[in-house]
Chain A
């Protein structure tokens, strides 16, 4: 018996619904149908009246949960795909994110965003938008890479008194598994973890590309290169101390992420490392993002458009030649 990343997301929601009467789920097709990805499967049956179908109205979905939060609820919104959150952009960044600052009243909402690419998904069902949302003050942005983090961080997101953008990677839904879930520790947000120790170079990454980085590290180890992989877990807040601690040991940095290159998480990590840890670096910090194009449909084009294990290996070797 094993549990997948997707099942962990469902389990976290079930636990939150069980433990806290203020929690409810709102989104398109989430009730009896169980969600486009089945992340809310059977929850409507288990928790009658607390898993509600919405019209196809992303703006109203997010606006409505802000109102519900004012009235003391702790709603979870499911965007069917992160890409559609652009239709809710105004409510997310102007209503939800600014609410506490303007009113001194918390806005505890969790917006689940099925994120990132899958072969064949194309430009409108593949986006990784963590860099966009991290730009706005008042939001917390989570990017779990593992089953444990999907579970822990989602429970933490629901418990947090601020709007949380929860970027769950679709590629990981059924591809990563654990034997069983442990008790959540409630303290994962804002803390990066060392996913693999190493002494030669630090890869800072998050979400699905953690797994690409780990595969690259495994491959590089065969030729004696020891890569340390840092999983950010939440991109905002950004645990730059753990990153700097790692670079203090390795002296070299490659940032890997699936969002686009201009600005963004990788750029932010590099900017902070350059300003706080310039003296720790033995070579220029580098980044690997998706290409600066809308996400292609064809599986071969898609694979070539985002950071791959081979690209990571090539970059690491190049940095080590510096």
Chain B
């Protein structure tokens, strides 16, 4: 039997939970709003390269950023804007990166979703799926060696990423060392155009947890309450010595793989199923049902998100762009050992 969560650890009636839920929703809203802005800038031809958004996965992602604490490690993946914001990434980072501002974290040397602040705990992803699992686990191993206790590390992956060798090696390594790693697998039904049926043959991705000897949980990725409860429980378990935790969320990617992808291959039936519901809408309904927010409040929050995104966009558009003239073309920290001769 899997360690599927039976008892909610965070009672919806607790006042602390209401506050956390509302806060998480606001990050989801901000993530959705800024990503829609980025997508619209891309359509206007103002962005070089691909645009990858997390539409439909905000509830899962925000739960990670919300449940981690300052001082923890987070290696977000492609659809983690909500989690990034909740974990503390400045709103300016996404705009600076996509718009090619000199002030972007990677200074134009890397783009779109490949940004982070490693020293502050946000590790920047590479595109090779599964590769961040061992990096986060290694960071946790180092902390243990240094005698640092009480911190955890989380990273995200999709259904497609579970098929890689790096996924296996990273998770097995974390399990062997019993590291406080939380791996959130978001099964959004498609890896680019490839459906689950061509991605894995096990009944449910959470079954894999047993094979690694770690604790595994399933959750409805469209339900913010469940996401906060399950991810919160997994983070608590990891923090209190329970070893690696695997959380599998089910939802639907409500967009193409990237903005250039019209996703015509997606099965329309999926959109009619519970997993196909938009987590933002579901969260809004829950807020209204619980009387945690009124229609007026929701409208105000939407306007606030829009205002913040517009202000940040305008600020970044006034900032200088990355320029070859500012670049030192130096791939090494040890300058004396650069192969200048090239």
Contacts and interface: CB of A to CB of B under 8 A. Distances in A.
Interface of A: 24, 49-50, 54-55, 57-68, 70-73, 75, 90-91, 94-95, 97-98, 100-108, 137-138, 140, 160-162, 189-190, 236-238, 240, 272
Interface string B99-136: 00000011101100010101100011011100111111
A75 B134 CA distance: 14
A56 to B, nearest CB: 9
Given A55-B172, A59-B169, A160-B334, A237 B116 contact: no
Contacts of A106: 333
B331 A57 contact: no
Nearest first, the 7 closest Cβ-Cβ pairs linking A and B are A64-B138, A67-B138, A63-B134, A67-B139, A68-B142, A60-B169, A57-B169
B166 A24 contact: no
A59 B165 contact: yes
A63 B138 contact: yes
B114 A102 contact: yes
A70 B337 contact: no
Interface residues of B, number: 47
Interface of B: 105-107, 109-110, 114, 116, 118-119, 123-124, 126-128, 131-143, 145-146, 165-166, 169-170, 172-173, 176, 330-334, 336-341
Contacts of A98: 126, 331
Given A72-B142, A98-B126, A64 B337 contact: no
A231 B307 CA distance: 64
B333 A162 contact: yes
Contact of B106 (A58, A68, A102, A160): A102
A67 B123 contact: yes
A68 B336 CA distance: 24
Given A106-B333, A140-B334, A272-B341, A91 B131 contact: yes
Contacts of A237: 337-341
A70 B137 contact: no
B173 A68 contact: no
Contacts of B126: 90, 94-95, 98
A66 B132 CA distance: 10
Contacts of B106: 102-103
Contacts of B172: 55, 57, 60
A149 to B, nearest CB: 16
Nearest to A241: B341
Nearest to B172: A55
Contacts of A90: 126, 128, 131, 166
